[in-house]
Amino acid sequence: MALSLTMGSDGLTFNDPGNRRNMGKPFFFRAAKTDSVTVESSWVTGLETGNFNIPKRSELIAHYHYPVRNNSYSWGGGYTRMYYSVNDSAYILCGNLGYCRGAMGSGKYMISGSDFQHAFDFSGMTSDFTIKFRYDHVVHDGTAYIGGDHGLSAAENSTYHGSGTPWQQYLTIQGWTYS
């Protein structure tokens, strides 16, 4: 018998699962922030999302992207902390990300971006739940801007991307359920 995969109203199913699991409906969420955030020597929140409604028995991948500008002639560099909260419980720290998380260069203003991905396995959750995320930042030295001063000419926001709004930092969540 040939292996086949069918997409139906209940998600993806195999005709002969064997050691494979049938996958339920996929889902996708996105959160973005257009405000510029100044990052210096104390931790500051870059992006904090509201709650996302997640179906029970889910797995998901959270992808966080932020544009960053080292806005000083110092070395730059810095750290990012990622937190998540389930059902509005206290935030859980997933650790520090860094040190070289974009925009480093002694004697130069640098524009860069950073991306982080985290995988979560909530397949043991027996009821629907909510999840929210928070990303905090600190620089090693100097000053950095997340989302601001990223134009290609004279460090202006509006020169090439056509808007006075800073470049966005954003979080995407791609997930799926298991039956």
pLDDT digits (tens, 9 = 90+) for 11-49: 666 666 565 566 677 899 999 887 888 988 999 999 999
User: How many domains does the chain fold into?
Assistant: 1
Domain annotation covers residue 8: no
Domain annotation covers residue 1: no
106: which 2 tokens? 């002694």
Domain annotation covers residue 103: yes
pLDDT of 77 > 70? The answer is: yes
Half-sphere exposure in the Cβ direction for 10 (13 Å, CA) = 6
Domain annotation covers residue 26: yes
Domain annotation covers residue 4: no
Give the torsion sign (CA, 116, 95, 167, 145).
negative
Burial degree of 13 (CB within 10 A; 0-12, 13-18, 19+): middle
Alpha carbon distance 55, 47 (integer Å): 23
What pLDDT digit, counting tens, does each position of 129-140 carry? 999 999 999 988
Domain annotation covers residue 142: yes
Alpha carbon distance 140, 151 (integer Å): 24
Domain annotation covers residue 120: no
* pTM score of the predicted model: 0.79
List the domain range (segments joined by +) for residue 54.
22-110+133-168
